[in-house]
Chains A and B, each alone.
Chain A
């Protein structure tokens, strides 16, 4: 049984498209060691490997490997402080795993080397067949302890993989494991997005030779066409309460923004303008919608209150600003034309402070991780699209190149708790 499991993991990693490379690390990564507490087990080592990999992938940790250590304590009382001070280690993480037929119980503690004492103790309780997800929760707990920002190792990514003209809408764990195909099509799939409870997704499919929005339940695979139509429907965005879906359509002859109440199918039109209005995104409180419009001659970001229909323009700098989403109530992230290249930028709505976050070219489809601190987007190298990302607070940059074919349209899941 164990052998079969290992083979399965090997297979998954072989075919996994998401191999992460850190392109720019943190200036001051936190140096830690992760050790099994009291007894060594196969599962315990597997868990530590997953956590080490998660934390290394953030680019903000330097996780020491066993051969770099001077001594290996089995618990806090066996720590020889000078060994660890010599290695300049910040903290030792002790992980104790208890596995029964019904539960996997992971207790972990953070031992501060310079204080020579345990700073925090935490616990993750999961099902025994779900070692990877339970370990990701430990990684997220550790990340939160050190940075005060929630970790995202336990979340999922959705993206479109294109390989010899076959499009696959994929979902995988944030570390690329457990890749699954949600939709396979010979026609383009764009704008995938998660429902706020992560149970459903919406996307645009060209399967009927025209842009149409579908919703799909992840567990059952059941699909619904949002509007059966002879015009294009695109750019879906769920409201934070999941009751409404905002979208773009040309049903009235020109690209406008609409909101549909999913239960009653009651529809309302938000924009009325001869220009392009598209790419709606909801504010975190669901009270505002931002969108792209070229009503002033070039694409810029506007904000609208769906009830009062009062609009205001948010971007003023640059000749091309599009596909915005709220990072928080005061900041938005969008595609910004910067001389000849298209980059991902951040704007503070209040201070008007604009910051270009990426150094790649042809960037598009930015998506914010649920902790509000990592942005993933798609960009191009030669003729092939791949995914790349940037951490806002640490400035760590990474890329997720496809092993073969192309990756695009990333969509980060909400927290899965």
Chain B
């Protein structure tokens, strides 16, 4: 029966000249990551995987399309630097974020540069680079998802977390 079906199909395809369209069926499969806590097939070596880190220790804000540190954030960063040099077993996770304006991928790169700017400052002030981890989230995790300057200025930020 199946062979008959296939041969009939191939006959149909042979008949199909340029003016005739033949139609195929496409099947797809779902992958669900929300029901399992770990990812089965994929090996990941990310050290910050599945970390529940709660509220950030502090936030640093940036200007539009800019990754330079503002003067008003330097005092905060210096006290973090001091804290880290006194407690060398601390690891600092720096998450960079962007506002929604512009493209997602550019914002991802921009947010990572913001996190990196903080890392560079801390390393220059004497903190070991091995105790700092940076990650960019782009515009994916806004604090405020409205579309106005007040929301955007809150979203252009880096969040600093201490992890053991």
Contacts and interface: CB of A to CB of B under 8 A. Distances in A.
A299 to B, nearest CB: 6
Interface string B5-33: 10011001001100111111111111111
Nearest to B135: A210
Interface in B95-132: 100-106, 108-110, 112-113
Nearest to B17: A123
Given A183-B33, A184-B33, A380-B100, A278 B45 contact: no
A41 interface: no
A130 B25 contact: yes
B104 A409 contact: yes
A9 to B, nearest CB: 16
B43 interface: yes
B34 A210 contact: no
A223 B102 contact: no
- SS class of chain B's interface: helix, strand, loop or mixed? loop
B79 interface: no
Contacts of B136: 211, 232, 250
Interface in B42-84: 42-51, 65
A308 interface: no
A320 B113 CA distance: 18
A32 interface: no
Contact of A171 (B28, B44, B104, B147): B28
Contacts of A380: 100, 147
Contact of A322 (B8, B20, B103, B147): B103
B32 A124 contact: no
A52 interface: no
Contacts of B5: 102
A277 B49 CA distance: 26
A166 B103 CA distance: 21
Contact of A191 (B12, B15, B104, B145): B104
Contacts of A182: 28-31
B15 A125 contact: yes
A102 B8 contact: yes
A307 B146 CA distance: 44
Interface in A191-212: 191, 206-212
A60 interface: no
B44 A130 contact: no
Interface residues of B, number: 56
Contact of A181 (B30, B106, B141): B30
Contacts of A299: 65, 102, 106
A315 interface: no
A234 B136 CA distance: 11
Contacts of B102: 299, 320, 322, 335, 337, 342, 364
Given A188-B140, A228-B45, A383 B103 contact: no
A116 B99 CA distance: 60
A388 to B, nearest CB: 15
A123 B19 contact: yes
Contacts of B138: 190, 211
A318 interface: no
Contacts of A123: 19-21
B88 interface: no
Given A102-B9, A230-B47, A362-B101, A276 B26 contact: no
Given A126-B22, A218-B28, A298-B65, A232 B104 contact: no
Interface string A260-304: 000000000000000011110000000000001010001100000
A271 to B, nearest CB: 12
B150 interface: no
B31 A191 contact: no
Nearest to B35: A184
Contact of A364 (B20, B51, B104, B108): B104
A279 B106 contact: yes
22 contacts: A124-B21, A125-B12, A125-B16, A125-B20, A137-B21, A137-B23, A166-B34, A190-B105, A190-B108, A228-B44, A230-B47, A232-B112, A234-B105, A250-B136, A255-B112, A278-B109, A279-B103, A323-B105, A362-B101, A362-B147, A365-B103, A380-B100
Given A123-B19, A190-B108, A225-B44, 14 more contacts: A122-B19, A182-B28, A185-B34, A187-B33, A209-B51, A209-B135, A219-B27, A223-B41, A232-B136, A248-B105, A299-B106, A337-B102, A365-B104, A382-B147
Listed from nearest, the 10 A-B pairs whose CB atoms lie closest are: A221-B29, A126-B23, A255-B109, A188-B140, A323-B103, A276-B109, A185-B33, A137-B21, A322-B103, A208-B44
